[in-house]
Amino acid sequence: MKDMTDRLHALTPDALVMMDTIARTGSFAAAARELGKVPSALTYSVRQLEDALDVLLFDRSSRQAQLTAAGTELLHEGRRLLQEMDAVANRVRRIASGWETQLSISVEDLVSMPVVFDLVQSFCQVRATTPLADGEVSGPATRVRLKTGVLTGTWEDLVTGQVDLAIGVSSQHLNPGGIELRPFGEVHFVFCVAPHHPLAHAAEPLTDAQLVHHRAVAVADTAQRLAPMTVNLLPGQDVLTVPSMRTKLEALLRNLGCGFLPYPLAQPHLEAGHLVMKETARPPAVAQMHYAWRADRGALGLGRALQWWLTQLESPTTRRALLERHAGPLA
């Protein structure tokens, strides 16, 4: 136990900084000048560290400060530890100024991911207005965690505490309390098929009696605990289930079935003639979307990271872009 205690006392941040300085400057004398010590004091400190660890850290036969294999490993791990310690210190100081350590966001599959990433990029450039103890002004310590959800799955992510903010949920779900909702916008859906699909030239409006004989492409609800939803599927209809709206679009373009798409996502393909829009006997499909967040965040209230995102979502221009601007690398 004493040996372990000695090692713990020896492996201090100052000792790790000393090792790093010697390795970086290439000599004890240069390291001593940089650290404001005399070379003999530095030599003594290194020997104390070697005695505590029971290893040789420097090759004494070399005129330069040549690390042994053990010294190289200690330097490598020591630098990593110093970085982690510095990161922890910075996060603690930043949290004291109101920034969360992590903000988790669930994004409904209907929402434009290119625009979400635009927001993430802007968030990463945010500079905190509260100076740190050393007088510097630092960016948020908040780590952003994104996930996508479909239908009930996005709501489930929020109510089960997996995320702090959900972008694109329905107001029809039962609110267990502690969750705030705000209107996000409407998504209009259109029924689409490939130009060479049997329904492409059928008389309109298409009836359920016609649709039931053709394979539908559906996006799977990501809910695991709450009851998942099925939308616009008919009893007995063949179904191809896919993981996202973008893969549904791909399936429709490949004539693997028929189905409803958000108009902004379908529009460029309709204009290019890669898809055909057909009227159905069903009422026009319109989804009323909301964004929601967990408001029960304790005595400290909302963190600055969540407040930043909520401020962006208050902008009608931002909300419209999130629902309509699907052009980009993920489209």
CATH number of the domain within which 308 lies: 3.40.190.10
Which is it for strands 239-242 and 216-219: parallel, antiparallel or unpaired? parallel
Based on the fold, state whether residues 199 and 278 are members of the same structural domain.
yes
CATH number at residue 32: 1.10.10.10
Angle between helix axes 304-313 and 316-324 (nearest 10 degrees) is: 80
Using CA atoms, how far apart are residues 188 and 262, in angstroms rounded to an integer? 6
- List beta partners, residue 104: 145
Based on the fold, state whether residues 136 and 180 are members of the same structural domain.
yes
Based on the fold, state whether residues 224 and 268 are members of the same structural domain.
yes
Of the pLDDT bands very low, low, confident and very high (cuts 50, 70, 90), residue 3 is low
Is the model's pLDDT at 47 over the cut of 70? yes
- As for how many domains the chain has, the answer is 3
Q: Domain end: 74, 96, 118, which one?
A: 96
Based on the fold, state whether residues 162 and 202 are members of the same structural domain.
no
pLDDT tens digits for range 116-174? 999 999 998 875 454 555 555 555 568 899 999 998 889 888 888 889 999 998 877 77
Terminal alpha carbon distance of the chain: 60
CATH number at residue 260: 3.40.190.290
Using CA atoms, how far apart are residues 84 and 172, in angstroms rounded to an integer? 45
Based on the fold, state whether residues 197 and 281 are members of the same structural domain.
yes
Using CA atoms, how far apart are residues 119 and 116, in angstroms rounded to an integer? 5
Based on the fold, state whether residues 205 and 269 are members of the same structural domain.
yes
Q: Domain end: 52, 79, 96, which one?
A: 96
User: In this prediction, what percent of the chain has a pLDDT beyond 90?
Assistant: 37
Is the model's pLDDT at 43 over the cut of 90? no
Based on the fold, state whether residues 261 and 171 are members of the same structural domain.
no
Residue 127 confidence (pLDDT): 54
Residue 331 confidence (pLDDT): 34
Boundaries of domain holding 207: 186-285
Using CA atoms, how far apart are residues 15 and 19, in angstroms rounded to an integer? 6
pLDDT tens digits for range 219-239? 998 888 777 777 778 898 899
Helical ranges in the chain per DSSP H: 2-10, 13-25, 28-35, 39-53, 69-96, 113-124, 152-159, 208-211, 245-253, 263-271, 304-313, 316-324
> Is the pTM above the cut of 0.75?
no
Based on the fold, state whether residues 22 and 88 are members of the same structural domain.
yes
pLDDT tens digits for range 175-223? 777 788 999 999 999 999 999 999 999 998 999 999 999 999 999 988 8
Using CA atoms, how far apart are residues 20 and 23, in angstroms rounded to an integer? 5
Using CA atoms, how far apart are residues 165 and 180, in angstroms rounded to an integer? 10
Which is it for strands 239-242 and 276-278: parallel, antiparallel or unpaired? unpaired
Q: What are the Cα distances from residue 47, in Å, to 15, 24, 221? A: 11, 19, 63
- 331, part of any domain: no
- 218, part of any domain: yes
The separation between CA 289 and the C-alpha centre of its own chain, rounded to angstroms, equals 21
Q: How is residue 28 annotated by DSSP?
A: H
State yes or no: cis peptide before 228, omega within 30 of 0.
Answer: no
Contact predicate 23/81, CB 8 Å? no
